[in-house]
Structure 1
């Protein structure tokens, strides 16, 4: 259950990063409120998961999911540039997250 919370928190991190951009420096109310919701939810779930998981592994997975998710979202829905190097780099981040899980570092 703790790892599920980390994965969900990582997905919510993507939400807060995207809404941070969409808020235009907290000048747009809707995205600013969405940012606050996603950020509080993400940090809350990460905090709860850290009661059972090592901080290094959990934090790495959380940031990896958030970083990869945000990069993918930006390329697909925000018109950010896409290149082979960027796609390979995102794939490496995802591979690192999977590698941490498979290594048993969270047990």
Structure 2
């Protein structure tokens, strides 16, 4: 018995254009981008706590050279997710046309 097959072709043009059309309708985009940015910061914070990449794969362990360099700088805690290091320095600034990542 032969299998059943079918061929389909999807046109995603409308789905891709719709968000751009909606953005054109917004007079004040800054609150939207600020909200998007806030979610990005929260998501990044969760990934730091989980020590995982955006796709969920765990971070690689620190290499011996990295540990040695941090020890030379007298970094007591080698945990990259510790608040106050990179995890606590990510911020977003919502602008009229975009979100801007900042690291302080």
Q: TM-score, normalised by structure 2?
A: 0.26
> Which is greater in Rg?
2
**Structure 1 or 2: more strand by fraction:** 2
Structure having the larger proportion of residues in helix: 1
TM-score, with length taken from structure 1: 0.25
